[in-house]
Structure 1
């Protein structure tokens, strides 16, 4: 399968390229199809960073990338290298207190922010104070308002960018008004770049996450998983050489990449290569539930002195919704998963201790306290302990997802 990203140059007053904006495209047709904004941005990120490569996309210049409200609140931007991107906040974003805090966190981490299609509103004041760039649409904003926006903002630290500049007259006017950067068809239409998508086996990604959960970061084990998958190997080397660490020399081996990245950066990379596959609203909710279940199940196992299999129960609960995620019958979905036979049997309904734990979690989630009491007696765990363990699992999962 071929993937596509469009780029449009952003020029300075000398008409030299200062930045690029990266734009979603579904095919070689050079226009934006109305699709889910979250999916569009995630496609742009994964295609640019892991397939086409940022060196090819921007020639070393920063890339403006649109971010929806949902992706800002989920802190997806923190997956990207701060020195390679400008986080472009769409005009549809509501500047709630939580969203402003997320933007403050980005600024504190060294990211640059841009406000897209800007129209001055008093409730945007906090975002204005955080902005490095303000983009003004010259097709919508006419006459004196192009000048008045700069006066109203009244912040010398902010650079103004005139977008949708269609004529030499627009460009000259923008320069005279004090705009610093310019973007539009007068200079260049978006150019489409493409690459061949290499399907990633999601099972390999889950196996990697299993290793990363362990106390010891075992480079050799992780290397063996990645080397078995051509797509993962390709995307890892593409990512580390194009984006993340500002390396002076090219990285040519999987092991070298893993050593240089370390656990934290590797977690980010795994998130990048897997997040798009589960990016629609329904799947995202299922994934969140699975993460909570995984920690909850592990904690229950430790509480009932079944610690020797606790890590396997973590994986079992992570996969407890795999049939929904893959849209397959559970029996088919489990065929190639690296799970013990007794765990597979439990997920298929056979009664054993693993199924009892899985049932307990199901009944707790669904508020079936009669059946929950029966399960708690069977596993010799108090309902009070169950409630406390669930709260702890929820807190842990929230922290993991935020990170």
Structure 2
């Protein structure tokens, strides 16, 4: 859970001071929206027994019914299903929150809340079912998602459902909402780089639980995933900074933070299937490729404010595909041998199919959802609000109030008549 407020700091520091509260609130409210829907029906649709040929689960566990006395995991280490459902909720929350970065500084609050609810239901939940719902998970004889059970794609902790999904959706959102006024000729500078660095640190800290926790126990596999997560994050930072040095002449703090996130994104699907050296290779590849991919928005003209497409979309693609190269059964017997371990291209093509289907599904459906909401509610703030300050326009607040005025909704104490002021 700590990753979501960490993401709010990370994003909040990268925008202008007049937009910081709006960006942080759009991120934070995902805990409320997704948390509510997950209890009502989200968990059941994502992890319930399959209802439509591997596409979605049933509603047998709506309202979290029937979970209290059930455990998952190995025979020697059983995790209560309530604990597992809560763990998976955090994946769902941060996936929706990641999309904020693509449309920062121009998004209205209530249309975003509606979008978050619809997108979670129509995009995140089905993809999570495809890749996370293993046959038999919902009980003896229960069927799971097609991607993990029929295609046999590997994704340890969310390269498809979280990373590629959010990157593709971010691209669709950026196209629907359009460019910020003045972009790209007038570049918005991050207003608080210490926020960015601290937020990246919180994300890195949380990511260790994100990935290692997906082993569902204090096992050798969890320890391997932990080490791999650390290795990939570290090498990605170095890869990104080298690109900056060669391209721009200076390594930046923003680049270091972004490189860390890119490496963590890329190792997410692979952390439970590769050796530490493979993780390091995936990390440096992500750091270099994602740093170069930032330039795509200028070439193709889409205003992805905080580089969700370049970091999460491209990073997720790198990690998901490279499982087919670096995976080894020596790490995880339930996995596969990749290209470098004698497995040929068999696992590689499976990973490519999973990545491509997730990308296309998320891109198309997100575009349609965002278009409808934009038409019905007006997704984007008015030009005047964007220019003068979206925080004041949407929330009647300011992140930095140097005037010392009272909050517009504050209740002031009445001073009795005749008393000293």
Question: TM-score by structure 1 length?
Answer: 0.25
Larger radius of gyration: 1
Which has a greater percent of helix? 2
TM-score (norm 2): 0.24
Question: Which structure's relative contact order is higher, taking Cα pairs within 8 Å and 6+ residues apart?
Answer: 2
